[in-house]
Amino acid sequence: MEAIVVEGLEKRYGSVVALDGVSFEVKEGEVFGLLGPNGAGKSTTVRVLVTLTKPDSGNASVQGHSVLSDPAAVRQAIGYVPQDSGVDRYGTGRENLMLQGRVQGLGRRDLRARVDELLELVGIADAADRVVQGYSGGMKRRLDIALGLIHRPRVLFLDEPTTGLDPEARVAMWAEVTRLAEREALTILLTTHYLEEADTLADRLAIVSQGKVVVEGTPSALKAALSGDAVHVELADGRVDDARAALAQIDAPVETVLDDGKVLVSRVLDGGRALPGILSALGAAGIGVSSVAVHRPSLDDVYLHYTGRAFEAEHRGAAVQPMRGRGR
């Protein structure tokens, strides 16, 4: 059964197209990721699903309830953890949870038991009676998640749950989300711009770019669909046009120019065998190479394949010029 159904969502803010026909489905009990760079439309999609904004067209349902015609039922079924923390930093962790529980209408006895349960579940029981202002970033994020779970929702929305955390805290949060999905029998939809996070956490994911879902599937299936290896060559002098012309003469199709025109990516069946030919062609043209790497397909390669743009370059807002080559 589908816990979330999204059908053709469109949303504009003036001349900016935030959503351009977004559609996907999330099964019950699934951890589903919306992966995309900043400005892709991920947070706007979540805001529609949690009934904080209305689409210009299209519809969506959560636990069988339409976000347009039955928003109150949707709100009862969901928990929402936005990008920006909603905790009261001058209250204690326990006080934050007690207040949120009262807002949700929980009875005093049930609320106290639920607060104790959640404090243990998210690993901040030892800090329950400390003022939140003294919490670390990871502890505050755990408290945010506990606030979203206080009323036992069926579906939990996590909007960029690890943004701003250091790498160690981010990895700890990944473990926390995985454990929550199992312990609370939750359907989780998370948005992220971290490729590794989507690869680690999501049972399935949809890659979003410029307001559209460009591809959907399990991380392993999306990577497996790209046969062969990716050869990344960083040019020493940025002679992109010359490098493109040189590589057009060999059987190593250049897919795009990345990172401000400094890196060429070729997709080949056997990177080890193709690499000498690539370097020889560039060397014969007098084109310097700063570094070279060969690896199996990653989600970055998946994004590049379906959009013609590098994920990190687009996330940073760098100017990227798609470049089609032979065998694309």
In the block, residue with structure tokens 């999330």: 26
- Ranges of residues in the chain whose predicted pLDDT is under 50: 259, 318-328
- Please state the pTM of the whole predicted model: 0.84
Q: pLDDT, tens digit, for every residue of 194-242?
A: 999 999 999 999 999 999 999 999 999 999 998 788 888 888 987 888 8
Alpha-carbon distance 231 to 228, whole Å? Answer: 10
Local structure of 327: helix, strand or coil = coil
Q: What is the fold, at CATH topology level, of the domain defined by 2-222?
A: Rossmann fold (3.40.50)
Alpha-carbon distance 294 to 126, whole Å? Answer: 46
Nearest to 26 by CA among 215, 202, 210: 202
Would you list the DSSP string of 202-249?
-SEEEEEETTEEEEEE-HHHHHHTS-SEEEEEEESS--HHHHHHHHTT
Local structure of 260: helix, strand or coil = coil
Alpha-carbon distance 167 to 293, whole Å? Answer: 24
Cβ neighbours of residue 40 under 8 Å, at least 6 residues apart?
208, 209, 210, 211
Query: Are 209 and 38 a contacting pair, CB within 8 Å?
Result: no
Local structure of 44: helix, strand or coil = helix
Q: pLDDT, tens digit, for every residue of 60-99?
A: 999 999 999 999 999 999 999 999 888 999 999 999 999 9
Query: What six digits make up the tokens of 17?
Result: 């197209």
Alpha-carbon distance 156 to 262, whole Å? Answer: 41
Give the start-to-end residue ranges of the domains of the chain: 2-222, 226-316
Q: What is the pLDDT of residue 272?
A: 86
In the block, residue with structure tokens 């990172």: 259
Alpha-carbon distance 312 to 139, whole Å? Answer: 28
Q: What is the pLDDT of residue 287?
A: 92
CATH of domain 226-316: 3.30.70.260
Q: What is the pLDDT of residue 325?
A: 41
